[in-house]
Amino acid sequence: MSEKIKLHDKTFKLFIPNGEIEKAIDAVALRLNQDYKDCTDEHPAVLLCTLNGAVIFAAELLKRLTFPLELKACKLSSYSGTSSTGVVKTEVPLPRHLEGRRVIIVEDIVDTGNTIVNMIEQLKAHQVADARVCTLLLKPEVYSRDVKLDYVAMEIPNRFIVGFGLDYNELGRNIKDIYVLDA
């Protein structure tokens, strides 16, 4: 674990060590296992991973979940560089055959909430039985949407971060700790 890293033209400093991230994921998995213990092989939940950022979080979460589930993915994006564009683009659409299913959206980070609101609207159009949101990180200072975030592993200040799936122009996703922009 380095105290500082450089990606492209920016320097980042250590913010959240991997051990803290793992403990937060353990706590979220415990809650999910309790809430979804009634799932069966005939009625498995759907873990809907948002690409690309949530891949590492979803993988770590999967190792800890004990109820029957299917893993599916979609890709929506609203970021360019270090800031949100405010416009959500669907790059990989939601999977088909979600009608009547219990869906758990797995996000890496929720800040403005634009992507989550868009996903919930799409899931309603797919007539899912239930849609819940599970995010590794939440920036409560900027989240002001009405969509409930059911499972939040960690809250952080409104700063730009990389690592553990999060990137700066596609670099940094593979770093096991989380780093913050060194201002």
Name the maximum alpha-carbon separation found in the chain: 51
The verdict on whether 9 is a catalytic residue reads no
10 Å Cβ neighbour count for 66?
11
Per-residue H/E/C for 59-99 = HHHHHHCCCCEEEEEEEEEEEECCEEEEEEEEEECCCCCCC
* Catalytic pick among 41, 108, 111, 146: 111
3-state secondary structure of 161: strand
10 Å Cβ neighbour count for 41?
6
- C-alpha–C-alpha distance, residues 40 and 27, integer Å: 22
Q: Are 142 and 111 in contact (CB under 8 A)?
A: yes
Contacts of 50 (CB under 8 A, 6+ apart): 73, 74, 75, 76, 105, 106, 107, 108, 115, 119
10 Å Cβ neighbour count for 149?
18
Active site residues: 111
